[in-house]
Amino acid sequence: MNSSIFQFKEFTVDQTHCAMKVNTDGVLLGAWANAEHPQSILDIGTGTGVIALMLAQRFPKAEIDAVELDKLAATTAAVNFRASPFANRLTAFPLAIEHYWMVYPDKKFDLIVSNPPFFLDSLKSVEKTKELARHTNVDFFEELCASVAQHLNPKGNFCLILPQETAELVKERASAYDLYLERVTRVHSFEHAAPHLFLLRFGFQQQETKIDQLIIYQSEKVYHPQYQNILQNFLTIF
């Protein structure tokens, strides 16, 4: 997935002038995230717009707002939206999410998704302490969970993809805002490898958490049927 022009089955993503490339995390979240007949969707940190485009394909009645702090990436997302068959339902906002809420304080959504920065401490110098890095993570995800709880409709869902340590942090912070974990999909590179990513779905309805797994590779450079199945409606390679 290194090409600057990436061809999906129903749309093309142009990344020529943007460093935020199509990646496995994004396409998995775009194919996996779900809510019951969502009419309104928010993609926090849309990058080049891949997740928003996939959700537009999956949910043909949904209006989608895609928020991106990086102005170059947001511009690229807007270009990709205009070139897609879903242009009239997609809007890119070159804003930090907290500024988006300032402009649209009353907006509510049926589905909120995010592929957030996994390790915020990676943006800091290596001399910074682990304690400070953890504190930064807590602050970021605390604000994310608080804003989602405020702007998610009562029967809506909040979906993310995260590594294990960050997933545990988000589960803890989400529970403080009555966001209950409905489903966890553990993502494994190979069948017998430890999971390296976790797809999480939260909602306000308390229920038993469904736990399953998704395997990417059957063998070296051969995709597992599970991975092919979840992405077969999107990627031209399947």
Residue 103 counted as domain residue: yes
CA distance 64 to 61: 10
Give the pLDDT of the chain (238 residues) as one tens digit per residue: 445 889 999 999 999 888 777 889 999 999 999 999 999 999 999 999 999 999 999 999 999 999 999 999 999 999 999 999 999 999 999 999 999 999 999 999 999 999 987 654 444 444 444 444 445 578 889 999 999 999 999 999 999 999 988 999 999 999 999 999 999 999 999 999 999 999 999 999 999 999 999 999 999 999 999 999 999 999 999 9
CA distance readout (Å), 155 to 36, 66, 175: 8, 21, 16
Domain total for the chain?
1
Residue 221 counted as domain residue: yes
The reported pLDDT for the residue numbered 138 is 80
CA distance readout (Å), 115 to 66, 94, 153, 159: 12, 16, 20, 9
CB of 77 within 8 A of CB of 20? Answer: no
Residue 237 counted as domain residue: no
Domain with 199, as residue range(s), is 5-231
Q: What is the CATH number of the domain that holds 176?
A: 3.40.50.150
Residue 238 counted as domain residue: no
Residue 218 counted as domain residue: yes
Beta strands in 36-169 (DSSP E): 40-44, 63-67, 90-93, 109-114, 152-162
Residue 236 counted as domain residue: no
Residue 63 counted as domain residue: yes
For the range 96-101, what are the long-range contacts, defined as Cβ-Cβ under 8 Å and sequence gap of 24 or more? 96/67, 96/69, 97/44, 97/45, 97/67, 97/69, 97/144, 97/147, 98/143, 98/147, 100/65, 100/67, 101/147, 101/151
CA angle 142, 213, 218 (to 5 degrees): 130
The reported pLDDT for the residue numbered 133 is 43
The reported pLDDT for the residue numbered 118 is 60
Residue 144 counted as domain residue: yes
The reported pLDDT for the residue numbered 114 is 97
Q: Which residues of 40-72 are buried (b: 16+ CB within 10 A; e: fewer)?
A: bbbbbbbbbbbbbbbbbbbbeebbbbbbbbbee
DSSP label of 62: -
The reported pLDDT for the residue numbered 21 is 79
The reported pLDDT for the residue numbered 3 is 54
The reported pLDDT for the residue numbered 129 is 40
The reported pLDDT for the residue numbered 66 is 98
Q: Which residues contact 6 (CB under 8 A, 6 or more apart)?
A: 12, 13, 15, 21, 22
The reported pLDDT for the residue numbered 212 is 98
